[in-house]
Structure 1
């Protein structure tokens, strides 16, 4: 999830663990702990694009990291907050739960979280978008309100747990909404007599009303969307795989690198030669409009063979089209 949401979650968990004993410092250190796993993005400053992408939501989002980091951070904070005279164990307990709930929440999003690292198993329930105001805002209101109450206040405790309960209930509901949306996509495929090998569904941006589907057939991918307010049947856009037209890289390292990219995309990928450049598209995150008549894949990379393997550069994301994106999204959520 986005950084703000993880800060709110971390603060709430910190308050639940130590709020009665240390007051707002529990929220502060909880908020800090909630951001720590996402520091893995700093890897991109020291590694190539493929390695940095593989590292995202890897070790820092694992149970092993939580177990190893919690006592170290607990010991550090115990020295900083020596006047509290808590000892390192209560602080370590706070950090463990704040670190652990971060990847636990991320498991419900699309990218995939290696909770059981070093095992190469990315968990992605695909039930909530990385930014969802319905999850974050009520939760944040409860946490902010609690900050202004005394740590011994019964209302403070109730507010904090109310925020946790509301957000958790909504998170569970997203799984149910996903199941309903998936059933609608499957019914549409059956009605259109489309044979397929696999289907993957995920929520649209900022909402659990609009859902997107990737459907794999033998020779193509089908992309479709569905809003709970739709009145027309679901339609799908077809994108041929064209696997035989993919580039054949000469060096073993380049061939290994492209296979790593395919693994990152979990097999949901296309390659296209456009204007003399090879593009690699990760289909899991769908399309976005770039003008009134054209769309592009959200995650697209320009790839070419270099002296030491594959050179990979993520394409620029033009923020000037943000108004168009939100306009089209809002219109689509309202139904077809």
Structure 2
């Protein structure tokens, strides 16, 4: 989730249990601690572009790390901020722990994948109920926190946290409706999917991207789950077959290893780029939900040495045309 949402959610929980005289400082500690786990984005390597994919939402986002992460936050924030406001270290740690504890669970509500139980498992949990940015989720929490802080009313923070529980629940209902529509569409096409997922499109829980896998292909479609279901048929692409698509690739090379790392990150949803024969895309994400215009990919090179990593690329096709297509779907056009 975006840093603002992570921060205000952490602040809403810490303010919910605070006394009136501690409302502001509780909110500040919850806000900063709620954003702290995303400091893992600093773990990067110039020589290994996929390293950050392995560490983002890993140990800092594990539920087992909450006691450690919250203590670290308190050790930094208590002498800098809270001690001057009259809080004990125990109080500072409590507010930091509450803020820190919200982060990983909120990230798991998105589609990216969060390693909630690392180091016991590196499975990435993605409940696909909220987009990584969604104003309808964030703005009510923010506004309620502003009023709670200005008026010194903790119960408004509690309402904010309640909204943070209600909205993903609505997203779960919408996700299930979109998945049901996807299964029906596959049946009409006489396909038997081996797996099917529905993910919210950008900044809403009305229009969903449905991706399903058959024996040899991926199909992407958009579903508008309003008062009635509307389908926007999309595109398909052959599943990645490394031996077929890259017959020159040494299976013991670093590039071959990187493909498997990228496969783990993408939950296996990999395909050869439709217009770039040296690139592999993550089929799950695009601005327009019924298109294969991937948000990120890796690029191989037949000239690379055995120990050379792949190239990692991001694609932000946030053009006026793509925004208009998504907006039309939101309107049901």
**Do both proteins adopt the same fold according to a TM-score greater than 0.5, normalized to the shorter chain?**
yes
**CA distance in structure 1 between the aligned counterparts of 2:195 and 2:237, rounded to whole angstroms:** 15
CA deviations on 1:268-293 (whole Å, 9 max, x unpaired) are: 01124856x5111011213549xxxx
Corresponding residue for 1:228? 225
After TM superposition, list the pairs within 5 Å mapping 1:97-136 onto structure 2: 97-118=98-119, 119-136=121-138
Q: Decide which moves more: 193-202 or 266-275.
A: 266-275
User: How has the CA–CA distance of structure 1 residues 295 and 193 changed in structure 2, closer, same or farther, with 3 Å as cutoff?
Assistant: closer
Corresponding residue for 1:253? 254
Matched, 1:334 2:298: no
**Conserved? CA contact 1:220–1:240, under 8 Å:** yes
Matched, 1:310 2:303: no
2:162 aligned residue (165, 170, 173): 165
After TM superposition, list the pairs within 5 Å mapping 1:1-336 onto structure 2: 1-44=1-44, 48-80=48-80, 81-118=82-119, 119-150=121-152, 156-229=153-226, 233=231, 235-241=233-239, 243=241, 244-247=243-246, 248-250=248-250, 251-272=252-273, 274=275, 278-286=278-286, 288=288, 296-304=293-301, 305-317=304-316, 321=319, 323-336=320-333
**Conserved? CA contact 2:217–2:236, under 8 Å:** yes
Q: Which has the higher strand share?
A: 1
- The residue matched to 1:280 in structure 2 has which SS? strand
**CA distance in structure 1 between the aligned counterparts of 2:292 and 2:233, rounded to whole angstroms:** 17
**Conserved? CA contact 2:144–2:159, under 8 Å:** yes
User: How has the CA–CA distance of structure 1 residues 21 and 45 changed in structure 2, closer, same or farther, with 3 Å as cutoff?
Assistant: farther
In structure 2, stretches of 5+ residues that fail to align are none
CA deviations on 1:22-72 (whole Å, 9 max, x unpaired) are: 231111121111211111111236662211111111111112321112223
**Conserved? CA contact 1:71–1:89, under 8 Å:** no
Residue 236 of structure 1 and its aligned partner are, at CA, apart by: 4.2
What is the root-mean-square deviation in Å for CA atoms of aligned residues?
A: 2.3
**Conserved? CA contact 1:30–1:98, under 8 Å:** yes
In structure 1, stretches of 5+ residues that fail to align are 151-155
**CA distance in structure 2 between the aligned counterparts of 1:235 and 1:328, rounded to whole angstroms:** 13
**Conserved? CA contact 1:280–1:301, under 8 Å:** yes
User: How has the CA–CA distance of structure 1 residues 288 and 279 changed in structure 2, closer, same or farther, with 3 Å as cutoff?
Assistant: farther
TM-score (norm 1): 0.88
User: How has the CA–CA distance of structure 1 residues 45 and 10 changed in structure 2, closer, same or farther, with 3 Å as cutoff?
Assistant: farther
Residue 182 of structure 1 and its aligned partner are, at CA, apart by: 0.9
**Conserved? CA contact 1:204–1:211, under 8 Å:** yes
**Conserved? CA contact 2:298–2:310, under 8 Å:** no
**CA distance in structure 2 between the aligned counterparts of 1:206 and 1:298, rounded to whole angstroms:** 15
